[in-house]
Structure 1
């Protein structure tokens, strides 16, 4: 990276202010039978030679209230909030609305569907999507 590029990146990083990120409400094609608003959880996707890792923010969701399923090459995540925890609370200040979470991802043929795993810890869901053997890079021997 050139000296000018480094200075520009540093200036941009220093000039960024902390900002509240608004939740995006899910506009679903199908009706939901669970009452409450649904939001799209923020996601980061990381890739290595062996896996794709999808990290989703789902604060307030517990393991018992989380469904992750695969159907017709679509990975669906559905996290429900237990509203009884908030029944007696009156917020003094709130930066986001409380609601359920739903998101889906269309999978390519490079993902090994049999080895997909999920882990929920402290409101962060990590989906590990291993790549199929044919999609992983390999070293070719020279004869």
Structure 2
């Protein structure tokens, strides 16, 4: 069997822009949803190392104090964002292979470098054994 592409005039693909596109709502939605890493480029300003019991994350945040940063840990996701009154805007997120133990993790800001030591939550096996009768 042989198939060929159907050709249509270009005008059939041109549609007027919807009100969402014209108002910028779509751009705002995409930047809020997908733009978590847009302000900080992890390959240039952040270093992530995988240790035996913890991950180490170093992020350059010059000009910001510890009271101007928010760090959130939810499962395997770590988010760092600057507060509204901060001198510059920082917004970044990382997803790790294992969940993070927030209680055993630490954060330190020294000379414009934020260093996070993120303890790994070791998965516990929930396997139950059954006795054969």
- TM-score for both structures, normalised by structure 1: 0.50
Cα RMSD, aligned residues only: 2.7
Structure of greater Rg: 2
Contact 2:66/2:109 (8 A) holds in 1: yes
The 3-state SS of whatever aligns with 1:29 is helix
Q: In 2 relative to 1, CA 107–114 (structure 1 residues): closer, same or farther, beyond 3 Å? A: farther
Q: Secondary structure at the match of 2:100?
A: coil
Q: 1:45 maps to which residue?
A: 48
TM-score by length of 2: 0.53
Q: Which runs of 4+ in 1 moved over 6 A?
A: none
CA deviations over 1:84-139 (Å, ceiling 9, x no partner): xxxxxxxxxxxxxxx3111011233353333222111111011111123459xxxx
Tell me how many residue pairs correspond in the alignment.
Answer: 87
Superposition pairs for residues 5-24 of structure 1, below 5 Å? none
CA distance in 2 between partners of 1:53 and 1:103 (Å): 15
Match of 2:62 among 59, 62, 79: 59
Segments of 5+ residues of structure 2 without an aligned counterpart are 1-29, 125-133
Higher helix share: 2
Name the structure, 1 or 2, with higher relative contact order (CA <8 Å, separation 6+): 1
Contact 2:55 2:120 in 1 (8 A): yes
Contact 2:75 2:100 in 1 (8 A): no
Q: Which segments of 5 or more consecutive residues in structure 1 lack a partner in the other structure?
A: 1-26, 31-37, 84-98, 136-143
